[in-house]
Amino acid sequence: MSRISVRGFAVASATAVTTVGAVVGVASGSTPAADDNNFEATAADTTLLADIPAGQQAQVQTASLTQQADAQASAADAAAKKSAEETARVQAAKDAKSKKQAAEDKLEREREAKKKEAQERASRSEVRSTSFAVQGSYTVAEVQAMARQIVPADQFQCFSNIVNHESSWNYRASNPGSGAYGLVQALPGSKMASAGADWMTNPATQIKWGLSYMNGRYQSPCGAWSFWQANHWY
């Protein structure tokens, strides 16, 4: 066992030693330094301290060990608290990183979904390679029937709305002032030559060109119609 130095115990021991010296002096006939009253008081003290060395030392040692145990417990509690705080900090950092990654993953999924949707919409809006017998002239009903076969069903109404406003389904409609021509009033009309050399007389050629133009500039006929409603041109 390690030696424990306790101030209170040391004082008690010194007192006991001093008292014993005084008693020995009296027994040998020496004159005590203090008067009789003081000696009696000291003797009384000696009697009271006679039992201290063994008992009190054990008590003091026990108290000291208790204090050490308390100090160790406090240190352990502080270390545990610090460890818990560090663990919480690390976990919070991990949680923040996980949330950030989850948000980025969600954003990426949304982007992919929008991209896929746009591709599907573009695929639905692709110009269909439909052939029609060439005629000398076409009625409005015949032209509209062509358009229904060429334009995707979910885009037809928007396409029809634009054609109604631009030419009233007259494939020979011409604007002398601007040079616009045909069902979709291409400006100039010669632009439609990219869809076919018969652009002036074939409604199917005009429809194909018009659908391609709307898809390319507005992503779809409905996109073109939304723009038209806001600006009265497209």
| Mean pLDDT confidence for 198-224 | 97
Q: What is the pLDDT of residue 11?
A: 40
Q: What is the per-residue pLDDT for 124?
A: 52
By CB atoms closer than 10 A (0-12, 13-18, 19+), residue 209 is: buried
Cα(first)–Cα(last) distance of the chain, in Å? 99
Span 134-161, mean pLDDT? 96
| pLDDT digit string, tens, across residues 115-131 | 666 655 555 545 555 67
Tokens of 231: 């600006």
Q: In this predicted model, what pLDDT tens digit does every residue of 5-31 receive, in sequence order?
A: 444 434 444 444 444 344 334 444 544
Residues of the chain with pLDDT > 70, as a percent, come to 67
Please give the DSSP secondary-structure letter assigned to residue 151.
S
Strand-pair partners of 186: 181
Say if residue 225 is exposed, middle or buried (CB neighbours under 10 Å; 0-12, 13-18, 19+).
Answer: buried
Could you give all domains of the chain from N- to C-terminal order, each with its CATH number? Answer: 140-231 (1.10.530.10)
Report field, pTM of the whole predicted structure over 0.75: no
Q: What is the pLDDT of residues 30-86, one digit of tens each?
A: 444 445 555 444 444 444 445 556 566 666 667 778 888 888 888 888 888 888 888
Secondary structure (3-state) at 223? helix
Buried b (16+ CB within 10 A) or exposed e, 37-71: eebeebeeebeebeebeeebeeebeeeeeeeeeee
- Residue 188 confidence (pLDDT) above 50: yes
DSSP letter (8 states) at residue 33: S
State the chain's mean pLDDT as an integer: 78
